[in-house]
Structure 1
Amino acid sequence: MENNKIAVGLDIGTTKIVAMIGRKNEYGKIEVVGIGKAKSLGVNRGVVSNITQTIQSIQQAVEEAEGVSSIKIEEVVVGIAGQHIRSLHHSDYITRNDAEEVINDVDIENLVNQVHKLVMLPGEEIIHVLPQEYKVDSQADIKEPIGMYGGRLEANFHVVVGQVSSIRNIGRCVKSAGLDLSDITLEPLASAAAVLSQEEKEAGVALIDIGGGTTDLAIFKDGIIRHTAVIPFGGNVITDDIKEGCSIIEKQAELLKVKFGSAWPGENRETEIVSIPGLRGREPKEITLKNLSKIIHARVQEIIEHVYLEIKNYGHETAKGKLIAGIVLTGGGAQLKHLRQLVEYITGMDARIGFPNEHLAGDSDDVLSSPAYATAVGLLMEGLKRQKNDEKVHEAEEEIITEIPDQETNVEAKEVPVEEEKPKSKKRKSFFEKFTEGLKDFLDNAE
């Protein structure tokens, strides 16, 4: 088994940490060869709050995945979320030296690099620069400018920004767990890759990923990401409310939520009662399911209204921004009974539950197609996609180098010196590599 064909997604969540190892089968579907899961103790609302515990949980998840697959994990693609994430829109342009040559990858890379130089607030760093539409000279609304002639290349960008310290803490945990960080991806983008179809992205869709500590939102329209947001509430606040409202301990509250919880209070009759054992010889507590669903309903309604506000801010009510495919719910919180009906009721949009099984091989374990694993599957897909791109670039460069041994071309001047170093990882300076490299240098120096 070739190790380089395998990728690993590491989802560092507030409730669980998942390591997922997989590869593409001959049909292009993803075959998960190993999965490991650990309780996440050191993460709060998507942000690392206890480094030592997070490192232990990562190691535990990784060891479990290695045990199942008997593959040694070396590098991982990690997801990032948390309340510090924000997104903004920005447009930028470059003037090309030679309008007689067609626009190529290098031009787009130069344009993206220019956006990376944007001055952020202190302590913030750009995580993703995602091009939306391009404009060549005065022709607007171009999806793919490569191969066109033009002197001025302009684009609108969706820029995702996060706190440097939070990103570095995640990097630190991954490195201290003995792993290399091959990439960091925004979690709502990973979940979207796993559960949304291309048709939905074209028609316009809002993906809501309800996790333990955060609710992530990604909005697509015309196949392009238009808006991302991270809301600092998730399934845990529902559990906390049940704990407070019913005066029980957290473990019992979580069980109640998962087993008997419903987001719609109308369906329970007053007579349905659950008895909960009291602590250490105290009387058992009796809780009516109607009360339980009232507590859950109030909190879930608040989360959905927050998300709906973001959807409105994006411009859902304008004719141009209409989301025809409605809402897709995923993440562990999407498993709450009657959540879909409540979301449809509050937003007036169609909703479905998103399962990450579309890209998985047919014989995959049923557990994997649970919405709770959407982010991990998406991160794994990101890792596999990245490898494929690296291979393509590698092949293209080899061709260039063999074809033109003596001409001094731009491409050769750019690429050949890099060749001597580390051919595999230094190839494609993508949006993220500069950032990841900076992070690695920082971590190496911090040792």
Structure 2
Amino acid sequence: METHDYSVGLDIGTTKIVAIVGRKNAHGKIEVLGVGKAKSLGVHKGIVNNISQTISSIKAAISEAEKSSGVPIHRVTVGIAGKHIRSLQHSDYIMRENPDKYITDEDIEILKDQVKKLVMLPGEEIIHVLPQEYKVDSEGEIQEPIGMHGKRLEANFHVVVGQMGSIRNIARCVREAGLEMEALTLEPLASSEAVLTTEEKEAGVAIVDIGGGTTDIAIFKDNIIRHTCVIPYGGGIITDDIKEGCSIIEKHAEQLKVKFGSAVPDLEKDSTFVTIPGLHGRPDKEISLKSLASIINARVEEILEMVNTELKAYGAYEQKRKLIAGIVLTGGGSNLKNLRQLANYVTGFDARIGFANEYIANDKNQYLKSPEFATSIGLLMESLKIHDKKPVEKPVEEPKVIEVPQAENTVEEVKTEEQEITQHIEEVKKNKPTFGQSILEKVKKFFEEVE
């Protein structure tokens, strides 16, 4: 099987690292070839804080995925989250040299590259430049300008920005695990790819992905991404609260949350207790399910209030921006009993749990139905999209890939030898018709003389 026949999504989460290998079948659905899952040890609140542990966790997930799929893994599409992520709106335009020629993908790429040169705060870097509506000459609210004629091409952009250090750390972990990073994708965008329908994005919807360390939000309206953000709290902090509130060890707190936890205390009986074994000969502990639900409820309400703040920041309660499709809850944290009802109550929007398996063709045992796989399946879909584009646009794409490192240094760190050779050829064309090697030597000589 050739490399471009299959794709890999790698979700580097706070609690787990998941690698999913898949390809598209004849009907355009995804056929999952293998899944690898490992405990994530070096990530805190979506940010890598221990390089060597993260590398070994990635290696463990990848080797399990390779075994179960029977294919070697070299390139991966990786997700990014963490509290350092922020988004902003920006408008920009280009004047086209030849308005008689119709607008192509190339014009849009030129416009995007211009936005990528935006000056950010020190230590920040642009991760995504997502066009919203376009304007051609004086005609506004255009969703798809390709094929139109015009001199001035303008667009509103949703720009996602992250800390350079965090991006570098992820890139380094992936590289040291012996992999090449083909793309870096914001995790809520990947999750929305896997669990949202086009109708929901059109009507207005917020995806709330409750992970172990972060809660990621993406809001869509009129099929356009409107708002993204990352809240630095997730299921892990609920476990911590149970651990402290019930004075038990973390392993037991996690089991309690998963098996008996509920987000609404009023729906639990006073008389139901669960017994936790005592440590080293100490007496067993009796914990009431109602008091367990009270502990969980306090923290979940806090997280949902933060979600509400983000919905208000977007303007979800205004008539024009109303989210008709409400909220879609996904991620491992959305498995919590009665969470949907609490989300309805706190936000006032209808909520549903988002499962990622509707795009999967071969999930007969429903293993991938769990919402915790939403991000990794979304990353796999993103990777398949990249591969779909490549064969058609290869001659046009290569020079474009070379321009990206100026704005996104992560790509530069994970550049293939083939791209480096192409870059030298490009430089040769621009400068002198000599070999790339001699140009490099001249540059070296020049710097030595300057010193």
Q: In structure 1, what is the equivalent of residue 429 of structure 2?
A: none
Q: In structure 1, what is the equivalent of residue 254 of structure 2?
A: 254
Q: In structure 2, what is the equivalent of residue 426 of structure 1?
A: 398
CA contact (8 A) 1:82 1:230 kept: yes
CA contact (8 A) 1:128 1:432 kept: no
2:18 & 2:403 partners in 1: Cα distance? 25
Amino acid in the other structure paired with 2:50: N
TM-score for the superposition, normalised by structure 2: 0.90
Q: In structure 2, what is the equivalent of residue 112 of structure 1?
A: 112
- Please give the secondary structure, in 2, of the residue aligned with 1:358: helix
Q: In structure 2, what is the equivalent of residue 231 of structure 1?
A: 231
CA contact (8 A) 1:393 1:428 kept: no
Amino acid in the other structure paired with 2:255: L
Can you list the C-alpha shifts for 1:239-271, whole angstroms capped at 9, x where unaligned? 000000000010000000000000000011211
Amino acid in the other structure paired with 1:264: V
Q: In structure 1, what is the equivalent of residue 413 of structure 2?
A: 439
> 1:358 deviation in Å?
1.5
- Please give the secondary structure, in 2, of the residue aligned with 1:154: strand
Counterparts in 2 of 1:364 and 1:190: CA distance versus 1, 3 Å:
farther
- Please give the secondary structure, in 1, of the residue aligned with 2:243: helix
Structure 1: gaps spanning 5 or more residues: 398-414, 416-424, 443-447
Can you list the C-alpha shifts for 1:289-342, whole angstroms capped at 9, x where unaligned? 000000000000000110111011101111221110000000000000000000
- Please give the secondary structure, in 2, of the residue aligned with 1:145: coil
Amino acid in the other structure paired with 1:94: I
CA contact (8 A) 2:113 2:404 kept: no
Counterparts in 2 of 1:369 and 1:311: CA distance versus 1, 3 Å:
same
> 1:26 deviation in Å?
1.1
- Please give the secondary structure, in 1, of the residue aligned with 2:318: coil
2:405 & 2:385 partners in 1: Cα distance? 15
Q: In structure 1, what is the equivalent of residue 68 of structure 2?
A: 68
What pairs up with 1:278-297 in 2 under 5 angstroms? Answer: 278-297=278-297
- Please give the secondary structure, in 2, of the residue aligned with 1:140: strand
1:274 & 1:365 partners in 2: Cα distance? 31
Amino acid in the other structure paired with 2:354: G
Amino acid in the other structure paired with 2:200: E
What pairs up with 1:404-423 in 2 under 5 angstroms? Answer: none
2:160 & 2:37 partners in 1: Cα distance? 28
What pairs up with 1:8-407 in 2 under 5 angstroms? Answer: 8-394=8-394, 397=395
Q: Percent identity?
A: 63
Amino acid in the other structure paired with 2:121: L
2:242 & 2:153 partners in 1: Cα distance? 54
- Please give the secondary structure, in 2, of the residue aligned with 1:426: helix
1:182 & 1:433 partners in 2: Cα distance? 13
2:354 & 2:369 partners in 1: Cα distance? 9
1:31 & 1:205 partners in 2: Cα distance? 27
- Please give the secondary structure, in 2, of the residue aligned with 1:118: coil
- Please give the secondary structure, in 2, of the residue aligned with 1:429: helix
Can you list the C-alpha shifts for 1:164-200, whole angstroms capped at 9, x where unaligned? 0000100000000011111110000000000000110
1:378 & 1:343 partners in 2: Cα distance? 23
> 1:364 deviation in Å?
4.1
> 1:440 deviation in Å?
2.8
TM-score for the superposition, normalised by structure 1: 0.90
- Please give the secondary structure, in 2, of the residue aligned with 1:263: coil
The structure 1 segments of at least 4 consecutive aligned residues displaced by more than 6 Å after TM superposition are 430-433
1:342 & 1:130 partners in 2: Cα distance? 32
> 1:12 deviation in Å?
0.2
CA contact (8 A) 1:5 1:384 kept: no
Moved more, 144-153 or 159-168: 144-153
> 1:439 deviation in Å?
3.0
Counterparts in 2 of 1:430 and 1:355: CA distance versus 1, 3 Å:
farther
2:214 & 2:51 partners in 1: Cα distance? 19
- Please give the secondary structure, in 1, of the residue aligned with 2:357: coil
CA contact (8 A) 1:97 1:151 kept: yes
1:433 & 1:75 partners in 2: Cα distance? 18
Counterparts in 2 of 1:393 and 1:427: CA distance versus 1, 3 Å:
farther
1:24 & 1:245 partners in 2: Cα distance? 47
Amino acid in the other structure paired with 1:429: V
1:440 & 1:286 partners in 2: Cα distance? 53
Can you list the C-alpha shifts for 1:49-95, whole angstroms capped at 9, x where unaligned? 00000000000000111111111100100000001000000000111
The CA RMSD over aligned residues, in Å, is 1.9
1:150 & 1:346 partners in 2: Cα distance? 47
- Please give the secondary structure, in 1, of the residue aligned with 2:194: helix
1:382 & 1:335 partners in 2: Cα distance? 25
2:77 & 2:364 partners in 1: Cα distance? 21
Moved more, 431-440 or 11-20: 431-440
- What number of residue pairs does the alignment pair up? 417
